[in-house]
Amino acid sequence: MGHDIFFEFDPKSQSWYGIAGASLETLPGGYALSLEGVTLKDAKVFFARKIAIARAHYPTISVRVPTRFTEPNQQQLQQIKQDQALKQERFSRLSPQQEWSGPFLPPVKASVSDVFGTRRVFNGRIQSMHQGLDYAVSSGTQVMALNRGTVILARPLYFEGNCVVLDHGQGLMTMYLHLSEFKVKEGEQVDRGQAIGLSGGTGRATGPHLHVAVRWQGVYLNPATLLSLSLP
């Protein structure tokens, strides 16, 4: 699909591993995974396999939010445009070094209130796809980093509210939205399980909760899948 996959060697299992994913927009079908390399004896090796992508079915819900999120004025549109430019600049960064280590852990101890892929209709007009997981937590709940990474964004945005984005390296990022308070600053390195903020209801939110998203090389992936992986 036009992506480069980074691999790391696990000496304990004597195997190589890497993370890749498919977006919601990917059409069902078979997609080629091709690996090329050179052995210690300078012999070229090649491996290819078809990866099957199946069709998934997601629920649709209707949501009411303040009209400034569905009918923004000119000043608000300018803020949205500035936010988009900022996110594009930060998301374009790609570090080949892996910062994350071991399995990814949930950001809070709470039940999931909305799943990845839900189709949302805001105020009967604006349609969008839910590209993360929502956790049912009250305002002020400590939010933990899913894994080790670098804070590349920690500031308020129009739709996302108070937002923290962690870069875990190799194009993998996690996002934490609608926070009521920041516990980290941009440029700071954090460890897995470290508090990065407090949950809230800032931005386009119907009430206090935590929205977590996973972004990999420009596409959003299901955080539940990442959290379920057994990683060295």
User: Which domains are delineated in the chain?
Assistant: 8-53 (no CATH), 60-228 (2.70.70.10)
| CA angle (46, 49, 50) in 5-degree steps | 150
Amino acid, res. 43:
A
- Residue 41's pLDDT is what? 94
Instruction: Strand 60-63: give its sheet, edge to edge.
Output: 60-63, 119-122, 126-129
Distance CA 229, CA 82 (A): 35
pTM, two decimals, is 0.94
Share of the chain above pLDDT 70, in %: 100
User: How does DSSP classify residue 223?
Assistant: H
Mean pLDDT over each residue of the chain, to the nearest integer: 94
- Residue 94's pLDDT is what? 85
- Alpha-helix runs per DSSP H in 25-122: 74-91
Amino acid, res. 192:
R
State the average pLDDT over residues 149-164.
98
User: How does DSSP classify residue 108?
Assistant: S
